[in-house]
Structure 1
Amino acid sequence: MSTSRKGSRLDGQPLEYAPAPESRSVVRLREAYDPFIDGEFAPAKSGEHLTTANPADEEPLAQVAVCGEADVDRAMAAARRAYDTVWRDLPGAERGKYLFRIARILQERAREIAVLETLDNGKPIKETRDFDVPMAAAHFFYHAGWADKLAYAGMGPDPRPVGVCAQVVPWNFPLLMLAWKIAPALAAGNTAVLKPAETTPLSALLFAEVCQEAELPPGVVNIVTGDGETGRLLVSHPGADKVAFTGSTEVGRGIARTLAGTGKRLTLELGGKGANIVYDDAALDQAVEGVVNGVFFNQGHVCCAGSRLLVQESVAEEFLDRLRARMALLRLGDPLDKNTDIGAVNSAAQLERIRALAETGRAEGAEAWSPPCPLPERGHWFPPTVFTGVTQAHRVAREEIFGPVLSVLTFRTPEEAVAKANNTPYGLSAGVWTEKGSRMLWTAERLRAGVVWSNTFNRFDPASPFGGYKESGYGREGGRHGLEAYLA
């Protein structure tokens, strides 16, 4: 693997793709950002700031306010005031108009948002451009359609909103996770206070500008920025009627303990260790593409990543040969280059965790392989890696690595495949690759996973619910089921 992908000329000689970088000029960064409260940007009472940086080169991007208790109180008060006086009783058709307007503005500013997300997050521009931003807009379009049809959502003839929602989103899909939470909350008549991750706050703050442009009533959406302490203040705030969190299982456990006995609604979308099951009758080249997409999309920073490959023993050797050949064609490098397949790891802390778990895999006897891959001198980078000789006792097969690391196990029978796939504390996603419909349905029925893909992976739709079991959390986001958490 090199930093430029090779094509092929008619004479059979390799052809290097020239760099195709997206321009940064479409983004106008501020030197400093304030929280968005009650319809305007106002300085945080704490007076503290943190620096958000580009993971690809570690260059600082902007100063962002760290919100303290007084700032969270202000945001919650603004959300409560907007809920009581404006939003709760606004007809659904009128709420839907605002959501439609937000969706259209996201589309109009798509290029700007995609570049900003790539700068702040480190993921390839082709992912932010072709997936993150279009899917975020799609969620607002979809939920705008629900706003005046809630009586048909299956929650009674006259469902009511829950109230003020405290929402915390992670750094792997900053804008998309925001859309997953804010769109259904607003469609159902709730107001929201959202905290983005401390390493990726910029797209949420740009979304605040979108709310202003859409003339959303002040206080309906509020954005508070900061570190983990800001998030703790938000989810434990007595003014919150509903808490929604996407992030690590460890933090999710803490939130569940904090809210236990309070009567507040809680949905958690946590970690995962998804299994991708490849049967011997699968279309192997198609399955290879699915496995690559399942674990290397967004550098593996995906909670539902297919980070465990279970391949039937009779085709394992052939499949791994094809997989390694495909991995050698992946392009790692500048996230703003439109040819890049694998961008930068989001932070130094996450890179250290990936390295530590990969080293543990080697120490426990698994064999690691990566294609030849020169890494940039600056920034946070980790090469795509596949571990073979893995058993279910290895940490790389049990723990969520949240990086471009694939663990390979084999199986002989469908029963063994299901047993190994379910042998995890997580239960978020799985994939099944087979040409036999009966085998696919038999397997999917027995997998304890919230989402099971057939002959594909990482396919999402706003109309389809997403969520997990066990330590992957509870509740659903998206679809009619995702509205339930926001309706009383």
Structure 2
Amino acid sequence: MLKNVIDQLVNSPNTEHEPLTNFINNEFVKTEHLMASVNPATGRSWIQIPNSGKKDVCEAVAAAKRAFPSYQNSDGLATLESRDQGKPVKLARLIDIPRCVHNFRFFATAILHHTSPSTVIDEPVRAVNYVRNDPVGVAGLISPWNLPLYLLSFKLAPALATGNTVVCKPSELTSVTAWVLMHAFKEAGTAVGKKIAETGARLNKKISLEMGGKNAAIVYPSCDLSKHLTTIAKSCFINQGEICLCSSRIFVHSSVYENFVDELVNEAKKGFFIAPTVVTGLADSSRCMQEEIFGPVVCVTKFTSIEEVTKRANNTCYGLSATVWSENNEELINTAHGLRVGTVWCNTWLVRPTYH
């Protein structure tokens, strides 16, 4: 049973477990080579995971091609995610595991409402233009180590819901919860998808990438630091700063710059393990201001006007997200509209619906 698997891993963290295995063709399969998974809190190896090679990948792809034509135990999964990745159990319980569950539930129902739009073209053509949605075949899913189960489910759920088969490759640093998820699949049972109808363009690979960000936070004089400072700091340092949506550049109006830096440094001192780092006095062209560090580091700099700060915030090759902090609605709206990013949060960060 799945609960027994999780309990065995959770309750004996300092003993040598049986090595993990690959999950191929609905079976757990041993590999020739293994590698150690290290607990970030202790620096010690706590379990052996597959070091899969070409033979394993070929077997997985072959099985996926042959196949192609309610989650419980969240506390145990949160504990395993913490031990494998290093994040607090509370954070994994609050975000990672619920979002994983939501991803499967959302895409399981979303596919029921997925439409194939069509349009009628009148005279002189007299034709109907329509879109046909077909599965693409075998999807190779490579998930990162910062949100292991969450981001794997974000790729896995839509791929399966739309009729594809998958070969998953979790990070070698954080493979345990992916392995536990395969136990959940086996316990629930798996359905066989449709066989692929066309196999002609095998080299025409489709790629979906979620890349990084160099996200700007913009702080105006009217920002109430007594309300927002903790959230601003969290947007920089939560999950060790290892979230692609974390703020890594803070533009602060020159009239409140010195006070803000002092307050942020005091807030950052509450961090543990590797101390959160606040850097000031850098040029916009510096590597720290331009390149994603993906760690608990944030750069703080001054600005004087909306026009200036939007231009400087946009001066990066990234365009993922940003935050704006002000009690002035005009500043919030005008700044948000001027930023060339996918998501802008105003007076908050990473706010999403709660899923149960």
TM range (shorter): 0.7 to 0.9
- Bigger RCO (CA 8 Å, 6+ sep): 1
> Counterpart in 1 of 2:276?
384
Q: Which of 189, 197, 203 is 1:215 aligned to?
A: 189
AA aligned opposite 1:32: P
| CA displacement 1:329-353 (0-9 Å, x = unmatched) | x352xxxxxxxxxxxxxxxxxxxxx
Partner SS for 1:307: strand
1:224-259 Cα distance to aligned partner (Å, 9 max, x none): xxxxxxxxxxxxxxx9x99xxxxxxxxxxxxxxxxx
Structure 1: give runs of 5+ residues left out of the alignment: 1-22, 85-103, 221-238, 243-261, 333-380, 464-488
Q: Which stretch has the larger CA shift, 146-155 or 306-315? A: 146-155
The answer (yes or no) to whether the contact 2:163–2:193 under 8 Å persists in 1 is no
- Whichever residue aligns with residue 248 of structure 2, its letter is S
Q: Is the 8 A contact 2:116 2:132 kept in 1?
A: no
Q: How far apart are 1:283 and its partner, in Å? A: 2.2
Q: Are the counterparts in 2 of residues 391 and 397 from structure 1 also a CA contact under 8 Å?
A: yes
Aligned to 2:74: 110
CA distance in 2, matches of 1:79, 1:423: 43
Q: Give yes or no for the alignment of 1:191 onto 2:165.
A: yes
- 1:58 is aligned with what amino acid? G
Question: Per the alignment, in what secondary structure is the counterpart of residue 284 of structure 2?
Answer: coil
Among 257, 260, 270, the alignment partner of 1:319 is 260
**AA at the equivalent of 2:107:** H
Q: Distance in 2 between matches of 1:294 and 1:36?
A: 36
Query: 1:206 is matched with which residue?
Result: 180
Preserved CA contact (<8 Å) 2:80 2:176: yes
Identity %: 37
- Amino acid in the other structure paired with 2:68: Y
> Partner residue of 2:205?
264
Is there any run of 5+ residues in structure 2 with no aligned partner, and where?
A: 1-8, 120-129
Cα distance, 1:324 vs structure 2: 2.5
SS in 2 for 1:270: coil
Residue pair 1:196, 1:204 contacting (<8 A) in 2 also? yes
Q: 1:61 to 1:288 in 2, by over 3 A?
A: same
- Counterpart of 1:385, as a letter, is T
Residues 28-82 of structure 1, C-alpha deviation per residue, up to 9 Å, x if partnerless?
98420111101111122xx111100101111111111111112111111111221
TM-score by length of 1: 0.64
Task: Output the CA distance in 2 between the equivalents of 1:217 and 1:304.
Answer: 35
Alpha-carbon contact 1:78-1:219 (below 8 Å) kept: no
1:182-237 alpha-carbon deviations (Å, 9 max, x no partner): 111112121111100111111111111111121123799xxxxxxxxxxxxxxxxx
CA contact (8 A) 1:279 1:311 kept: yes
User: Does structure 1 retain, via aligned residues, the 8 Å contact 2:111–2:162?
Assistant: yes
Counterpart among 51, 63, 67 of residue 66 in structure 1: 51
Q: Is the Cα contact below 8 Å between 2:213 and 2:319 reproduced in 1?
A: yes
User: Which structure would you say has the larger Rg?
Assistant: 2
| 1:35 has 2:22 as partner | yes
Amino acid of the structure 2 residue aligned with 1:163 = G
Aligned twin of 2:289: 397
Match of 2:90 in 1: 126
* Alignment match, 1:182: 156
Per the alignment, residue 4 of structure 2 pairs with none
> Quick one: which amino acid aligns to residue 180 of structure 2?
L
How far is 1:273 from its partner? 1.0
TM-score computed with the length of structure 2 as normaliser? 0.86
Decide whether the 8 Å contact of 1:75 with 1:219 is kept in 2.
no
Instruction: Determine the C-alpha separation between the residues in 1 that align with 2:16 and 2:183.
Output: 13
The 10-residue stretch of structure 1 (211-220 or 406-415) with the greater mean CA deviation from structure 2: 211-220
Which residue, out of 215, 222, 245, partners 1:281?
Answer: 222
Deviation at 1:442, TM superposition (A): 1.7
For structure 1, which segment, 169-178 or 383-392, has the greater mean C-alpha deviation from structure 2 after superposition? 383-392
- 1:462 positional shift: 9.7
1:75 aligns with 2:60: yes
In the alignment, residue 212 of structure 1 is paired with which amino acid? K
AA of the residue aligned to 2:90:
K
Once the 2 structures are TM-superposed, how far is the Cα of residue 321 of structure 1 from its aligned partner? 2.5
Count of aligned residue pairs for this structure pair? 332
Query: Deviation string for 1:109-166 (max 9, x for gaps)?
Result: 1011100011010111111111111111111111121122212789967522222111
Q: Secondary structure at the match of 1:443?
A: helix
What's 1:343 paired with?
none
Are 2:349 and 1:457 equivalent residues in the alignment? Answer: yes
